[in-house]
Amino acid sequence: MKRFLHHLVASRAGLFGAICVVLFVAVSIGAPILAPKDPLKINLADRLASPTLSLSTVGNYPLGTDQIGRDILSRIISGSRVTLIVAATAVLLGGAMGISLGLVAGYFGGWIERIIMRLADLQLSIPLLLFALIVIAVLGPSLVNLVIVLALTGWTRFARITRGEVLSLREREFVLSAKGAGAGHLRILFRHILPNVLTAAIVVATLELARVVILESALSFLGLGVQPPNASWGRMLADGREYVATAWWLSTFPGVAIVLIVLGVNLLGDWMRDFFDPKLSGVR
């Protein structure tokens, strides 16, 4: 753990990423306490108030208000919960699904592989929004269904990358040597192949996280994701679009939040990949 922190501080990009991620996670956990105002409270008198930093008045909105007078800062804080939970669970779910299917496909080959990979092709051939529309129309809009849709659209990347890696790892001598020592399939898969696949999977996961945050905003925009009046960054971004010429703060601040979390996760992911690669992290 000490080594972990030491190594993290030594890498500036990694540290920045970690700070972003930790900050956002902390904010989302403490959202009800941290939010200065009720994120759902409508105040038409103060609609589209511009950002101010005067500390005197009660009607002080550091990041302004939206078109019906809700405090943007409070909405960003409360929206971080939804956004982070949806994004993290969708990526974890999609990753777990994709990696395990990819492992099985690559390792066992044959008809199992053909079925799994054609399933992935099938998944990729369905237009994303159409797929989301169908699933949500059938299951009804809810956070759980949103996560399911996002995970289902994401697993194929994990599966393809994993399968490709496994195909090359499977023929490596250390796998043969494990087989020769009497290791079973499970041991070979989890001790020898999976750890060597994770490098690639982490990279995919960071990219996926960014994609999922943006996709969530698109789905929320279409009314398929987070339901109003609840806040999510994507929803706020989408809602502010029509006011962008007159009230830039409506979509700018949620946008900045998305950029920061995506950037943070990418940097952290990059650093993690290096940290867990024994070749790159130096003599330990």
Partner 1 sequence: MNTQSAPLLSARNLVKTFPVRRGGYAWRPKVEFRAVDDVSFDIEAGRTLGLVGESGSGKSTIGRAITLLVPPSSGSIRFEGEEITGLNATKQRSVRRRFQMVFQDPYASLNPRMRVGEFVAEPLVIHGLMPQRNERNEFVAELFTKVGLDPRFVDRFPHQFSGGQQQRICIARAISLKPSLIIADEPISALDVSIQAQVVNLLQDLQTELDLTYLFISHDLNMVRHICHGVAVLYRGRIVEIAPTTELFQNPLHPYTQVLLSAISVPDPIVERARQHILMDPTMDYGEPDSRLVEVSSGHWLAAARCETDGVTT
Who contacts 217 (Cβ-Cβ below 8 Å, separation ≥6)?
Answer: 225, 232, 233, 234, 235, 237, 238, 258
Alpha-carbon gap, residue 120 to 162, rounded angstroms? 12
Q: Of all helices (H) and strands (E), which one includes residue 100?
A: helix 72-108
Q: What share of the chain is helix, strand, coil (3-state, %, to 5)?
A: 75, 0, 25
Check residue 174 for interaction with partner 1 (CB under 8 A).
Answer: yes
If one counts every other C-beta atom within 10 angstroms of the C-beta of residue 159, the result is 27
* Residue 271 C-beta: closest distance to partner 1, Å: 18
* Residue 2 C-beta: closest distance to partner 1, Å: 16
Given the complex with partner 1, which of 34 and 178 has the nearer CB atom? 178
Check residue 2 for interaction with partner 1 (CB under 8 A).
Answer: no
Alpha-carbon gap, residue 44 to 55, rounded angstroms? 21
Let me know if 33 is exposed, middle or buried by CB neighbors in 10 A (0-12, 13-18, 19+).
exposed
Check residue 170 for interaction with partner 1 (CB under 8 A).
Answer: no
* Residue 196 C-beta: closest distance to partner 1, Å: 6
Choices 27-35, 55-63, 172-180, 234-242; region in contact with partner 1 by CB under 8 A: 172-180
* Residue 192 C-beta: closest distance to partner 1, Å: 5
* Residue 109 C-beta: closest distance to partner 1, Å: 14
* Residue 10 C-beta: closest distance to partner 1, Å: 19
Alpha-carbon gap, residue 204 to 161, rounded angstroms? 8
Check residue 110 for interaction with partner 1 (CB under 8 A).
Answer: no
- Bridge partners (DSSP) of residue 71 are 65
Check residue 176 for interaction with partner 1 (CB under 8 A).
Answer: yes
* Residue 206 C-beta: closest distance to partner 1, Å: 20
* Residue 199 C-beta: closest distance to partner 1, Å: 9
Given the complex with partner 1, which of 229 and 278 has the nearer CB atom? 278
Total interface residues for partner 1 by CB under 8 A: 20
Choices 55-63, 98-106, 169-177, 213-221; region in contact with partner 1 by CB under 8 A: 169-177
Instruction: Report whether 231 contacts 27 (CB < 8 A).
Output: no
Return the residues of window 191-230 that contact partner 1 according to CB under 8 A. 191-192, 195-196
Alpha-carbon gap, residue 233 to 197, rounded angstroms? 32
Given the complex with partner 1, which of 253 and 275 has the nearer CB atom? 275
SS3 of residue 71 by DSSP: strand
Half-sphere exposure of 42 (CA within 13 A, CB side): 6
Given the complex with partner 1, which of 41 and 118 has the nearer CB atom? 118
Residue type, 63: L
Check residue 172 for interaction with partner 1 (CB under 8 A).
Answer: yes
SS3 of residue 183 by DSSP: coil
Check residue 118 for interaction with partner 1 (CB under 8 A).
Answer: no
Give the footprint of partner 1 on this chain (CB under 8 A): 172-174, 176-184, 187, 191-192, 195-196, 278-279, 283
